[in-house]
Amino acid sequence: MAGLLQALVGASEKAAHIARLCRGEQPLFQLLVAEKKGTDRNRRFLRDFKTLADVLIQEVIKHDLGKEFPDLRGHIHGEESNEFQTGQGDTVTVQVCASPGDTAALLLSVLEPEREAAELLAAAVHREVVLSDAELAGVELGVHPRDLAVWIDPIDSTNEYIAGREDVTPLDGIAPGGLRSALVLIGAYDRRTGSPVLGVINEPFFQRDPQSRRWQGRYHWGVAYGATRLSSLSVPPPRPTPCVVLSRAEGAAVRGALEPLCGGRLRFAAGAGYKLLCVILGLADAYVLSEGTTFAWDACAPHAILRALGGGVVALAEALRARREGDAGPPAELVYNRPVEGAGGAERWANRGGFVAYLHPQHLEAVLAALGTVPGL
Ligand code: 2IP
Ligand code: CA
């Protein structure tokens, strides 16, 4: 099916543009912040935020993909609900309207009295993205949209996006936090098997133009369908001693078990998507997460790219159980079409039991062996 991957990339470019626009308007940005409530709360954070940018970006992606590929309608899911609570306590359903004027009017009901900001945003929502990417234009896929569904994380690492630190120095190429870790993630999975098939990661804040000081982005994509493996990236070589990236929230037992394996090369970074990207780019050899604090929308797109490059994301608790039971076969990968039984809200789509993301199978095996003795895992 020609055009679907290009459409995902185009949607991610539009999303990245909106993400930059919202950060560019500092007084407006303050208005955009609303607190997450109830079951949508990610239990890790005491205060978790969603922004109008988040909600709007998700709706734009849904709208644009659904318009071009009607077979996908009803099968595009995301982290956010499109209900936005205004400072006055009203609920506004954020959506893309028929014209930029109508969209601006809807956005103004949230942003009042910032008319100019609402109009800027509406223009970005209705803008047509033209990609000039010859390699991407040449990709033709043998997969039909009616067999696929989509997970969107409109802005992963929302906390870093809101805090907006621009001066975080990378360590061996890995930024421990800051705007660099805010990413747009769009992944398509096979509706029947739940396997990730197409992935796009967009980095809206990749670097600043030295002259204009404006943020410039970049994107990466991957395809893993049947025997087809394609990516905008090539496979980085494995390090003899692996480098493992972790969340700062990871506990002492996991850190302690992995440290000897890495010869001290444990790295810490914000953002689930960003840590997965570090593995994709070869900045780390594995990303280990021991808890169910990420969701389908965090992992689907990066997972498709990892598969395109010969790696994967395996369910950690399940893999360790299988190894303990003497099963030495390839561990089960995460799937994206199966909600957690008995769970409600965001928890339905939690990656329960954690995961290991890797590029080279020998690193996966080494990580599983190191974690095999950790009590409670
Ligand atoms: C978050 C975000 C966090 C991550 C968490 C994700 O998504 O990526 O940074 O925690 O697991 O669900 P950590 O940084 O400790 O890995 P969002 O920002 O979209 O809520
Ligand atoms: Ca996320």
Ligand 1 center to 326 CA (angstroms): 33
d(CA 219, CA 185): 10
Whole-structure pTM value: 0.94
Per the annotation, the verdict on 155 as an active-site residue is yes
b/e burial code for range 147-163 (CB count within 10 A of at least 16 → b): bbbbbbbbbbbbbbbbe
The alpha carbon dihedral of 201, 202, 208, 211 has a sign of: positive
Q: Which of the two residues, 29 and 348, has the higher pLDDT score?
A: 348
Q: How many CB atoms lie within 10 A of CB 25?
A: 16
Whole-number average pLDDT of the chain: 90
Predicted local distance difference test score (pLDDT) of residue 36: 45
3-state secondary structure of 197: strand
Q: Give the separation between CA 150 and CA 134, rounded to whole angstroms.
A: 24
- Residue 272, Cβ neighbours under 10 Å: how many? 27
Q: Is 156 in the pocket of ligand 1 (CB under 6 A)?
A: yes
Order of all β-strands in the sheet with 312-315: 266-268, 244-246, 286-289, 355-358, 312-315
Q: Which two tokens stand for residue 84?
A: 């936005």
For residues 158-169, average pLDDT: 89
**H-helix or E-strand spanning residue 185:** strand 183-190
pLDDT at 162 over 80: yes
User: Any catalytic annotation for residue 79?
Assistant: yes
Lowest mean pLDDT among 57-71, 160-174, 248-262, 325-339: 160-174
Catalytic residue (one of 298, 305, 333, 347)? 298
Residue nearest to atom 8 of ligand 1 (CA): 271
Report how far residue 44's alpha carbon sits from residue 103's, in angstroms, rounded to the nearest whole number.
34
Residue 158 appears among annotated catalytic residues: yes
**285 close to ligand 1 (CB < 6 Angstrom):** no
Separation CA 319–CA 279 (nearest Å): 19
Q: Taking a C-beta distance cutoff of 8 angstroms, is the pair 223, 308 a contact? A: yes
How crowded is residue 205: how many other Cβ atoms within 10 Å of its Cβ? 23
Residue 273 has pLDDT above 80, yes or no: yes
Parallel/antiparallel/unpaired status of strands 91-93 and 196-208: unpaired
pLDDT in tens, 307-332: 999 999 999 999 999 999 999 899 99
pLDDT at residue 350 is higher than 90: yes
Q: Indicate the SS3 state at residue 11.
A: helix
Q: How many CB atoms lie within 10 A of CB 365?
A: 14
- Quote the ligand 2 centre to 3 CA distance (angstroms): 26
| Helix H or strand E encompassing 28 | helix 26-31
Please tell me which residue, 143 or 114, carries the higher pLDDT value. Answer: 143
pLDDT cut 90: percent of the chain above it: 75
Site to probe by mutation for ligand 1, drawn from 37, 58, 294 as the one with most ligand atoms within 8 Å of Cβ, is 294
Tell me: pLDDT of 193 over 70. yes
Q: What is the pLDDT of residue 187?
A: 98
pLDDT score, position 88: 67
Q: Of 127, 139, 331, which Cα lies nearest the Cα of 232?
A: 139
Sign of CA dihedral 332, 287, 275, 229: negative
Q: For residue 113, say if its preceding peptide bond is cis, omega within 30 degrees of 0.
A: yes
Residue 298 annotated to the active site: yes
For residues 353-375, average pLDDT: 96
